[in-house]
């Protein structure tokens, strides 16, 4: 028997591969373990998506697959196999990897669903002999080794990095980007059944969810995921590059692909996403800056984050060099956007409450930035992102939150903490216009919580930031502020209350 985890749902998990895949007729097993949902308070739309995707896959595979509903993986495995041998592809978390290794009946093959095998990354990292593992170097290495967007040994279009052409401010003349609408799946009887089950579990008091489980927005099947990719490439890829980092209140998706949950469920293979995007450029249908930007996200960032998860090891989750220990307030845990006055945070938290998704910059600069400035415990922040986002899995959360967003690793992943005052949010969005707070105000009635929070953060970590050449200027600027004592007083008074 071959065991498929709930994030191993696409055909590439069943292909023969290098002899490490299941045979054509090997019986398959999937286990829906209720304890997973009991352990954490997930966003309900996320629980819905995962269960819907697993049950849809089970329906597709028909008699070949045994679908077990059990309390734990261990119990499900025992029920389905009675101790007979089972194969599995390497799971995507330390916890699941530890579990399968501890079960003598299970033999574990290499991971699938990523471009770069882990042993290749280890060789690349070793060759760098203690030098930092820069994402940009890794990304170029992936492009060369996997012949992605290359003309011979040169980057297609002449440059490796087109960030300079991207990262533009949002257009001021319109509240939305003029791009085609994203793909929306249609729910079916399996979704109805999932909803009924989730209602029942909640009613039994067995599990508790957060967020709204509106109409399902993300693909639950391979067919839906391919349709979403196709629609993105045909109608939305063109605009991906220029406004990658911009935010618009009325257009949360802008030109983003919304493909992360499909990639992370294994419904799409990253190779097909980058190949298809490259084809769009070669056919003259999409500009190089957008195609390179999209390829960088998948072949660069996604792969890099996956590799760092394993490379940094299990202990990485406990990193906390800034010694941040404050708990997350209730309004944040409950996604209570209505209690928030700051327009940017209110808007983004409402997007998360309603969909379980928001794009990269709101995650980094609005949500992560707020948590970092307030000194919230990075492990709790990681857990919050994991539970709340439809695409959240342990492997992708740890580097993105512990490293990139909370700087809890002291710079193993990024060269400086990513946080800013309201000026950045104002420059990159239309979120400050209607806000009661003013991005330029540090103190007083209209003080922007991000601007005050930024200086309060710099103040608390003055020594560390003064010794980093990328942040020392901020410390010098802070030393020239005449009202730092008032900023401190005001931030203390704010405490846990929603801004
Ligand atoms: P697009 O902007 O269209 O990008 C295309 C694809 O690139 C994504 O679908 C995703 O697969 C990949 N990608 C881009 N950046 C990253 C990255 N940093 N890490 C991994 N993949 C990346 N991504 C997740 O998949 N799951 C998460 O739980 C997650 N949590 C995050 C938490 C924080 C604090 C931050 C700063 C980023 C996080 N990301 C996460 C990365 C990124 O925000 C999402 O992948 C992206 O917003 C998903 O939307 P999209 O599919 O429209 O992405």
Q: Which two tokens stand for residue 370?
A: 């707020």
Instruction: Assess whether the C-beta atom of 233 lies below 6 angstroms from ligand 1.
Output: no
Please state, in angstroms and as integers, the Cα–Cα distance from residue 492 to each residue in 39, 453, 486, following that order: 33, 10, 10
pLDDT above 90 as % of the chain: 92
* Two tokens, residue 440: 């330029």
Q: Please give the CATH number for the structural domain made up of 2-109.
A: 3.40.50.620
pLDDT band at 338 (very low <50, low <70, confident <90, very high): very high
Going by alpha carbons, the residue nearest to atom 9 of ligand 1 is 260
Q: What is the distance, to the nearest Å, from the Cα of residue 143 to the centroid of all Cα atoms in its chain?
A: 22
All residues at 6 or more sequence positions from 159 whose CB lies less than 8 Å from its CB, including other chains:
292
**Distance from the CA of 44 to the center of ligand 1, in angstroms?**
20
Distance 21 CA to ligand 1 centre (A): 28
Q: What is the pLDDT of residue 428?
A: 96
DSSP label of 396: H
pLDDT score for 173:
86
| Ligand 1 near 385 CB (within 6 A) | yes
Residue 165 banded pLDDT, cuts 50, 70, 90: confident
pLDDT in tens, 262-314: 999 999 999 999 999 999 999 999 999 999 999 999 999 999 999 999 999 99
326: Cβ contacts below 8 Å, ≥ 6 apart: 374, 375, 376, 377
Q: What is the pLDDT of residues 396-450, one digit of tens each?
A: 999 999 999 999 999 999 999 999 999 999 999 999 999 999 999 999 999 999 9
Q: Is the pLDDT of residue 131 over 80?
A: no
Binding site membership of 360 for ligand 1 (Cβ less than 6 Å) = yes
Q: What is the DSSP letter of 328?
A: P
pLDDT tens-digit readout, 30-78: 999 999 998 899 999 999 999 999 999 999 999 999 999 999 999 999 9
- How would CATH label the architecture of 118-182+236-312? Alpha Horseshoe (1.25)
Task: Determine the distance separating the centroid of ligand 1 and the alpha carbon of 260, expressed in angstroms.
Answer: 6
pLDDT > 70: percent of the chain: 100
Strands 154-155 and 150-151: antiparallel
Give pLDDT, residue 433: 94
Q: Kindly report the length of the chain.
A: 499
Spatial neighbors of 153 by CB under 8 A, at least 6 apart, are 144
- Pick from 228, 265, 297 the residue to mutate for probing ligand 1's pocket: most ligand atoms within 8 Å of its CB: 297
d(CA 92, CA 7): 8
**Whether residue 154 has pLDDT greater than 80:** yes
Lowest mean pLDDT among 117-131, 141-155, 188-202, 331-345: 117-131
How many angstroms does the Cα of residue 348 sit away from the middle of ligand 1?
A: 16
Mutate to test the pocket of ligand 1, among 360, 366, 373, 378 (most ligand atoms within 8 A of CB): 360
Structural domain boundaries in the chain: 2-109, 118-182+236-312, 318-494
Q: Please give the residue that has the higher pLDDT: either 150 or 23.
A: 150
Distance, CA 360 to ligand 1 centroid (Å)?
6
Q: Shortest CA distance to 184 belongs to which of 224, 237, 212?
A: 224
Q: Ligand 1 pocket, 306 CB below 6 A? A: no
> 305 or 174, which is more confident?
305
The more confidently predicted of residues 164 and 227 is 227
Strand 106-109 and strand 150-151: the pairing is: unpaired
Q: Ligand 1 within 6 A of 405 CB?
A: yes
Mean pLDDT of 87-108: 96
Per the CB < 8 A criterion, the answer to whether 291 and 237 are in contact is yes
Taking alpha carbons only, the member of 437, 422, 425, 444 closest to residue 493 is 444
pLDDT at residue 130 greater than cutoff 80: no
Three-state DSSP state, 86: strand
**pLDDT of 96:** 96
Q: Please, which pLDDT band fits residue 164 given cuts at 50, 70 and 90?
A: confident
- Residue whose CA lies nearest to ligand 1 atom number 10: 260
Nearest protein CA to atom 30 of ligand 1, as residue: 397
- Among the listed residues 328, 317, 307, the one whose alpha carbon sits nearest the alpha carbon of residue 388: 328
Classify domain 318-494 by CATH number: 1.10.579.10
Taking CA atoms, 478 is separated from 150, 385, 386, 424, 459, in Å, by 45, 31, 34, 17, 8
Whether residue 129 has pLDDT greater than 80: no
Q: Cα(485) to centroid of ligand 1, in Å?
A: 38
Helix and strand counts by DSSP (H, E) for the chain? 23, 7
Tell me the per-residue pLDDT of 363-379, one tens digit each, with 9 for 90 and over: 999 999 999 999 999 99
**Strands 28-33 and 2-4, bridge-based pairing:** parallel
The pLDDT score that the predictor gives to residue 314 is 96
Per-residue confidence (pLDDT) for residue 297, from 0 to 100 = 97
* 271 burial via Cβ count (<10 Å: 0-12, 13-18, 19+): middle
Q: What is the pLDDT of residue 228?
A: 98
How many angstroms separate the alpha carbon of residue 302 from the centre of ligand 1? 7
């Amino acid at each position: 028997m071959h065991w498929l985890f709930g994030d191993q749902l696409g055909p590439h998990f069943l292909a023969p591969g290098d002899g490490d895949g299941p045979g054509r007729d090997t019986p398959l097993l999937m286990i829906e373990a209720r304890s997973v949902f009991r352990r954490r308070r997930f966003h309900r739309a996320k629980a819905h998506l995962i269960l819907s995707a697993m049950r849809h896959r089970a329906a597709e595979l028909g008699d070949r697959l045994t679908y077990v509903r059990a309390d734990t993986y261990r119990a499900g495995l025992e029920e389905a196999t009675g101790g007979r041998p089972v194969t599995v592809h390497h799971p995507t978390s330390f916890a699941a990897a530890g579990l399968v290794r501890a079960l003598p009946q299970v033999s574990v093959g290499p991971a699938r669903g990523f471009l770069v095998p882990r042993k290749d990354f280890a060789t690349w990292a070793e060759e760098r002999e203690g030098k930092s593992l820069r994402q940009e170097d890794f990304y170029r290495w992936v492009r060369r080794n996997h012949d992605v967007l290359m003309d011979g040994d040169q980057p297609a279009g002449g440059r490796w990095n087109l960030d300079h052409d991207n990262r533009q401010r949002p257009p001021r003349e319109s509240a939305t980007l003029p791009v085609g609408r994203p793909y929306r799946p249609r729910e079916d009887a399996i979704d109805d059944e999932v909803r009924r089950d989730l209602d029942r579990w909640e009613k039994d008091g067995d599990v508790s969810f957060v967020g709204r489980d509106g109409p399902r927005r993300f693909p639950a099947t391979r067919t839906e995921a391919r349709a979403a990719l196709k629609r993105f490439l045909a109608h939305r890829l063109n605009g991906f590059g220029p406004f990658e980092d911009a935010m618009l209140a009325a257009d949360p998706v802008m030109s983003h692909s919304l493909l992360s949950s499909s990639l992370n469920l294994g419904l799409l293979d990253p190779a097909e996403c980058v190949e298809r995007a490259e084809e769009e450029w070669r056919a003259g249908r999409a500009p190089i800056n957008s195609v390179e930007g999209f390829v960088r996200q998948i072949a660069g960032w996604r792969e890099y984050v996956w590799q760092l998860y394993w490379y940094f090891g299990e202990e990485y989750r406990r990193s906390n060099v800034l010694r941040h220990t404050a708990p997350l307030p209730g309004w944040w845990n409950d996604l209570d956007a209505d209690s928030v006055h700051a327009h940017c945070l209110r808007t983004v938290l409402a997007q998360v409450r309603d969909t379980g998704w928001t794009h990269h910059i709101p995650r980094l600069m609005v949500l992560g930035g707020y948590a970092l400035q307030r000194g919230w415990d990075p492990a709790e922040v990681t857990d919050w992102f994991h539970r709340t986002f439809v695409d959240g899995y342990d492997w992708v959360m740890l580097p993105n939150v512990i490293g990139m967003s909370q700087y809890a690793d002291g710079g193993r992943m990024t060269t400086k903490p990513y946080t800013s005052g309201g000026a950045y949010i104002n420059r990159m969005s239309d979120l400050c216009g209607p806000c009661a707070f003013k991005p330029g105000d540090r103190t007083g009635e209209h003080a922007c919580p991000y601007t005050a929070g930024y200086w309060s953060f710099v103040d608390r970590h003055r020594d560390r930031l003064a010794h980093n050449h990328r942040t020392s200027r901020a410390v010098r600027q802070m030393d020239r502020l005449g009202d730092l004592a008032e900023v401190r007083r005001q931030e203390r008074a704010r405490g846990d209350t929603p801004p």
